[in-house]
Structure 1
């Protein structure tokens, strides 16, 4: 042990070997943890949805609680506001969206034909062999057809899949309100409950960690909703001005995808770009330029103003994290990676500050 303390290299090497042994042992006995994994997977979606809704409507709850001192009434009023928002979405937005989805589906063949015609004109103008282009389009059509076929087969694989989807949807529908109720009712008491189960010397650290988690989660989730709303409304106005059909649906898609930083607005605006390209190349170019301007305003003005400096991240860090999360988990990872990173970063800073303060006190 004394040798390990004197040699940092062997100390680090020993730690790495022990970590490797732990991972190896876990792989050997991983079947023991299957019930815990199933429990976590079943509750993951309801918890994530409940936490997002909790922080989105937390200002409503706090304002109501200031006016009305009773927790139960404040929670009921908050639930009433959530119900009003859902009613507005289902009664006003969804019918228009379904209508525009139908129009968009009927528009897809003409969009594809226009794109093919544009490719043909491009190959003729620049003297490019069309045989390779047609072969590529043919292969693409086959691959797309195979993908669609696989999706349809997976969706219609049997009654078991339908029952599983129904059960999971029911779990989410009935679990999320229950989780929301306890989050609003006992959320303020959670730090005190954490303090009770940690040793007395770590009480201050536990409280600081809970505060850092709450502050960063609240800033990110609440701020991200406002930023997505800004992008969606701005995109909707741009599509209306440019005369792009189904502007409401395309603006909503752009706003939703903005939850993915940097890449989101461009991914969400891709369907609008394809439709704009069938109108005219100028329209598609203007759409690209205006969406880029919206994204720049979001990155350098709206996001810092709404979220504050506590969540500032270097653009290179954001891009690396998003690409890594996409490769590791997919779309869900791209959505969750930044709030998780922001929370972990804040908690790590709290721990480092705690360690440094303890060292200073010990040296005095």
Structure 2
């Protein structure tokens, strides 16, 4: 199996075409029906046993002819409800939906690995399980449904990768312990008393009250969290009022909380509730606060597995290609797999300033340097083969 690089070079055109196909025909979370059918068709053509799972997901397995362990590889499938502005031949053909996060590449990488491992059955020790997971971008995520469908049954290790624009192509980020944060959401509804804008003294201004809550929430971390502990509280939505001469009677505030510690998450939830209730009481308004506990943090298992992935990265990218990155505050439901099975999650550099590939994830002009597909395949292939033994 020393010819992994040549096998990947042989299959690169296929992987690139698959990535561009998925990019052109994106589907949002839990609606990936056409994507599922395409994946099933491709796996069938390779002679790989595959089955639908978790609604629009797919579980497949390649059994080697030598004894060994079982390693699972996961790719997420869903796109974003975002209108694309990328001027490329493979731009989205589905209005209002685009792959602005790299999941198109993740599916293509896993199909490429499927072809390679299927061709190595006689030499392959153990089993490689392929997990195509729906709904990573939308709470509650698709990981738990796929796990319930048997994704991790009998699995010894699980690997996942994310094409990562902030890292330059030709590099990989990996770290022992936490690598991505727990992503959670909150909503606050402020109930005031509306009235004519010329007589504000007769009203309870929900817009004004809500704005004070928004300002206060932006000081929460700096005044309620140890400055050496990572935490993010961000307000993404603030809606109040419809007409310029009417005092708003209701306001809606929603946002996100990112942490690596569930106790800290609860502390921040408590502070949000206290801040909202206190400001509303002072203004004579009422409020309802709801919290949505999201994905757990993604915590890589220290020791052999991370070391194995890092070694595979060095073999693929050279001595300077593997970066011990700081944890990022973005969330990923891959954390559910790592709560149950030893494994690791890696970030594969996909940015390229010289080629103009500079737009961040979830941007309408997001794109990747497609050479990252080959690097990701090689790293995952090498790591998988080491872990199967």
- Which bin holds the TM-score, normalised by the shorter protein? under 0.3
TM-score (normalizing by structure 2): 0.24
Greater share of helix residues, 1 or 2?
1
Q: With a CA cutoff of 8 Å and minimum separation of 6, indicate the structure with the bigger relative contact order.
A: 2
Greater share of strand residues, 1 or 2?
2
